[in-house]
Amino acid sequence: MCGIAGIWNLRGQPLSSVGLDIFTDTLAHRGPDGRGIWRNDRLGIGLGHRRLAILDLSQGGRQPMSYAEDRYQITYNGEVYNFIELRSELERLGHKFASTSDTEVILAAFAQWREQCLLKFNGMWAFAIWDQREKSLFLARDRFGIKPLYYVHNANFFAFASELKSFRHLTGFTAELDDEVATILLDNPFAIEGSSRSLLRNVQRLQGGHYAYVTGSGASVTRWWRTTDHLVTPPSSLEEQAERFRELFFDSIALRMRSDVPIGTCLSGGFDSSSIVAAMSEIRGRPGVGERFSDDWQHAFIASFPGQPIDETPQALAAANLANVSAHFLAIDESSALLDIDRILDDFDDVYINTPTAPWLIYRELRRKGIVVSLDGHGCDELMGLYRGADYLLLNDAPSWITNPMENLRRARLADVEMAVSNVGAQWSARVFKLLRMQLAYHPDFARTKRIMKAIERGLTRIRKLRHPSPEIKLVGDDDLLPPEWGETNRLLYRMFHSTVLPTILRNFDRLSMAHGVEVRMPFMDWRLVTYVMSLPEASKIGGGMSKRVARLAMRGSIPEEIRTSRVKIGFNAPLPQWLNGPLSPWVNKLFLTSVSSNIKVPFSVTELAKLYTRHQRENSFNWSTAASIWLRVNLLHFAMLERDKLPSR
């Protein structure tokens, strides 16, 4: 896991060594273990690399790396977990290796199979390979866009880097906020990351599952991965489906435990992270574990939120104890709100609906404790979870009220009890009204009503768009032909996973972990597991009153039962409503004043936003919805100021 950069002067002008050095070193935080530069002055091209050493800690693993008598040069960010198996296959084909890294395996695979090598990789990556013979640059990103890659291409040069902040320091380029993208983001914060656009004008994103060839005469971008092309036929029974899920999940964990440095996990106490730490424990307990497994892995890092309803410390501790791993606690409270807030947002270098403080702090804690790799649970919710509450989970597949009223009463009462957790003290009449609303929204008996309401909603949306037209940006997966038998749930999950929610979350956690030189590996995003789960019927994902149904069945007996059967979903977020009402207030008000005096240009009125913020603060009326909407704009305002000031990265 590293930071990569490169510049190609297409007009053949000499490449400034200082310019390439600065461009590369803006990514120093991603690679604190070393740096490397390769240049071809005659052709005006250079590649830069900041190294985070995970596999082959020797100088043999340093980059940029050459292969085939210097025909190929690579700068690479990521991990190909099945590199041991691929290396053996390539050796049988006559390839020889000078290192024990996965980087050299990528080079040999590209030399052997060109772009078809991507289909053989199991992992996450963004890399660029220069072909000296063909005078071409090949760039590729992994199937689901776990690792980032941005670029600028104009008549004078082609430049690429791992993060947006690098382009603020690119010679011959002026970093400016893209007003159109910013406007769309404020309307839908999940509508950008799956596209080829970014918040900086003329900075493009190579989308997940795409590769590009760049030559002196132009560039071509090709999509090489569509999940729908790789669906499988799963077993018919739920028990058999769970057994197969467990096989794939545990193998995914085993591959991601390959490391020459210590590894750990961020443990929230929810199902996803608890499953990972349990599987790690079971795998390491088996005799004859695999080659290159890390011997130092029993580390669980738990972020606690004392006194907050989002705190899951007891559940996390129960999971850690069952897996027999060491628990490291980090308390995040109001004193954390202003702690390094400017640096955190500078490191984040994008815009989201919540402050990234909590993840930034927990990954800093990993690094301080010497843990460089973390196996985390990202992707599971978008694969089979939907982020739905107990009311939906209990009622969406309930039987008819006419044929089975007692079962409906049981589910309704359970939904009322579980949803009341977040409405403590609500009056009986309010809870009855909520229960009736839940029935109308989710119960199959009211399917026709729901279809009518959705048709009305779609019509109103079209009218709003006609009255207030807003630009739309095409997202990866928008045109994918989904199986005709798929229902609404599978279609929604597919879009969340490929196009909207997950790409945004992947960006967030890449930036926040790599700000401290920590690599995050995501076992739920192994492509074999993804294509398998995508192939399952909806009832195997959302059914029986549960989300992630097949996974919960697969982990029976491996994690605490309270966690395995819980319908509560708590995201890894700071308590933003409380922080905006209190400790963040001086910082936010100062930001408003500074932006107005500096005449910062953003697609909203800073003065009106300040008035709205003051009103909510005075009335103590922040909730998650209002806090997210206001923070989104505050975050964008800070981002726009960074572009103006070109603050240095750390």
For residues 302 and 380, membership in a common domain is answered with yes
Q: Last residue of a domain, which of 564, 586, 614?
A: 564
Q: Residue 188 domain-assigned? A: yes
pLDDT at residue 28 is higher than 70 = yes
- Beta carbons of 267 and 273 less than 8 angstroms apart: yes
For residues 295 and 418, membership in a common domain is answered with no
pLDDT at residue 467 is higher than 70 = no
- Of the chain, the percentage scoring pLDDT greater than 70 comes to 92
Q: Residue 446 domain-assigned? A: yes
* Rounded-to-integer distance, Cα 400 and Cα 446, Å: 10
Element (H, E) at 493: helix 488-498
Q: Find the domain containing 601 and state its range.
A: 576-645
The pLDDT tens digits for 244-260 are 999 999 999 999 999 99
For residues 377 and 417, membership in a common domain is answered with no
Identify the burial level of 469 via C-beta atoms within 10 angstroms of its C-beta, where 0-12 means exposed, 13-18 middle and 19 or more buried.
Answer: exposed
For residues 377 and 461, membership in a common domain is answered with no
For residues 412 and 378, membership in a common domain is answered with no
Identify the burial level of 638 via C-beta atoms within 10 angstroms of its C-beta, where 0-12 means exposed, 13-18 middle and 19 or more buried.
Answer: buried
For residues 445 and 487, membership in a common domain is answered with no
Q: Last residue of a domain, which of 435, 467, 499?
A: 467
For residues 106 and 48, membership in a common domain is answered with yes
For residues 603 and 559, membership in a common domain is answered with no
For residues 70 and 25, membership in a common domain is answered with yes
Q: Residue 287 domain-assigned? A: yes
**Per-residue CA distances from 561 to 249, 350, 513, 645 (Å):** 19, 38, 30, 52
For residues 53 and 172, membership in a common domain is answered with yes
Which residue shows structure tokens 């050095």? Answer: 21
Any idea what the Cα angle at residue 506 is, between residues 504 and 510, rounded to 5°? 120
Q: Residue 347 domain-assigned? A: yes
Q: Residue 399 domain-assigned? A: no
Range 544-548 average pLDDT: 93
pLDDT at residue 91 is higher than 70 = yes
Q: Which of 300-309, 328-337, 342-351, 566-575 has the lowest mean pLDDT?
A: 566-575
The pLDDT tens digits for 565-609 are 998 877 777 889 999 999 999 999 999 999 988 888 999 999 999
The pLDDT tens digits for 358-367 are 999 999 999 9
pLDDT at residue 238 is higher than 90 = yes
The contacts of residue 116 (CB under 8 Å, 6+ apart) are none
Indicate which CATH number applies to the domain containing 205: 3.60.20.10
Other CB atoms within a 10 A radius of the CB of residue 7 amount to 25
Q: Which of 72-86, 224-238, 269-283, 310-324 has the lowest mean pLDDT?
A: 310-324
Range 294-311 average pLDDT: 88
The pLDDT tens digits for 153-197 are 999 999 999 999 999 999 999 999 999 999 999 999 999 999 999
SS3 of 186, please? helix
The letter for the amino acid at 299 is: H
Q: Is the dihedral of CA 127, 345, 473, 627 positive or negative?
A: positive
Q: Residue 283 domain-assigned? A: yes
* Rounded-to-integer distance, Cα 95 and Cα 587, Å: 57
Closest by alpha carbon to 143, among 79, 207, 198, 217? 207
Q: Last residue of a domain, which of 432, 467, 502?
A: 467
Count structural domains, the chain.
Answer: 4
The pLDDT tens digits for 264-281 are 999 998 999 999 999 999
Q: Is the pTM of this model over 0.85?
A: yes
Q: Residue 554 domain-assigned? A: yes
Other CB atoms within a 10 A radius of the CB of residue 130 amount to 25
For residues 158 and 51, membership in a common domain is answered with yes
Q: Residue 395 domain-assigned? A: no
Indicate which CATH number applies to the domain containing 495: 3.40.50.620
Q: What pLDDT was estimated at residue 422? A: 45
For residues 611 and 553, membership in a common domain is answered with no
Helices (H), 147-237: 179-187
* Rounded-to-integer distance, Cα 225 and Cα 222, Å: 9
Q: How confident is the model at residue 61 (pLDDT cuts 50, 70, 90)?
A: very high
